[in-house]
Structure 1
Amino acid sequence: PGNGPERYDYQSLTTGIQWPPMQGGFTRYGDVKSLVESADNRLVIMGSGDEMRLRFKVPDEPVKSGWKRDFILHSVGWDKDANLHTILGQSVEPLPFREMKSYPYPTEVYPDEELLQQDREIYHTRRQNSARFWQSLVKP
């Protein structure tokens, strides 16, 4: 309500496809800790409707009287909205990286292509079915 962030209502789910899926490899479901534990160019590639849950250990030390404990999540991410007018918006690639000067980066090179290829083979193995979306638009 109000100006707060949108929240998922798990009691009211829709299974219909809302947005056209992008082409390319999305991160498989499951443990992705190694992709998010360091400030580097590794990514969790999420599609429409995906979510990621983060767990962390709360410090054992008690909070001083009158104080309260806050947690700050600093994240760096990029968003492609699959809008037909967004440059390269129909595919997850080319993947962005922290040092890029602009996107797309025609004169720059992804900094660790070998690690990216490894992540493609291990993590970014999930595909979305674009035909299912477009067919749903013409069904009576």
Structure 2
Amino acid sequence: MARHHRHDRYVVMVPGDETTAEFDAGAAPALPAGWTRTFLLYSDGWIKDSDLNTAHGTTIDPLPYHAVSSYPYAPGDAYPSDSARQRYLREYNTRIIKPGAREER
């Protein structure tokens, strides 16, 4: 049931947001009597806050990505712009967060 797949399509959140992960636990094999199962969620990502010491802390872009050589980007580096990235932007990364929204929560 383990699924290890890295991609560069992130959940972009602000303080107070939450996310839900759903999966079909019924796909796991049956356990012997008396056993219990623990599910672990392994994730990787970056925290990009609005601290003055954070590179580009007042904007969403540029986002870090797994193959980036350094952050902030080195000359010639750019976030991959393939069809999967474009679909992610159109379908998921659509919310506009106005300056100061963090304080309004």
TM-score between both structures, scaled by the size of structure 2: 0.74
Deviation at 1:132, TM superposition (A): 5.9
Residue 97 of structure 1 pairs with residue 35 of structure 2:
no
Deviation at 1:66, TM superposition (A): 4.3
Deviation at 1:68, TM superposition (A): 2.1
**Aligned partner of 1:43 among 10, 13, 24:** 10
Q: Residues of 1 paired with 2:15 and 2:102: CA distance?
A: 12
After TM superposition, the structure 1 = structure 2 runs for residues 1-140 of structure 1, keeping only pairs within 5 Å, are 38-59=5-26, 61-107=29-75, 108-130=77-99
Deviation at 1:89, TM superposition (A): 0.7
Q: Residues of 2 paired with 1:95 and 1:72: CA distance?
A: 26
Structural RMSD (CA): 2.6
Q: Residues of 2 paired with 1:65 and 1:132: CA distance?
A: 51
Post-superposition CA distance 1:67-99 (Å, at most 9, x none): 321111111111012112222111111011111
Q: Which moved more, 1:106-115 or 1:86-95?
A: 106-115
Give unmatched runs, 5+ long, in structure 1: 1-36
Higher relative contact order structure (alpha carbons within 8 Å, sequence separation ≥ 6) = 1
Post-superposition CA distance 1:51-72 (Å, at most 9, x none): 1111111136431134321111
Q: Residues of 2 paired with 1:53 and 1:96: CA distance?
A: 23
Give unmatched runs, 5+ long, in structure 2: none
Q: Residues of 2 paired with 1:131 and 1:42: CA distance?
A: 25
Deviation at 1:111, TM superposition (A): 2.5
Q: Which moved more, 1:74-83 or 1:61-70?
A: 61-70
Counterpart of 1:26 in structure 2 is none
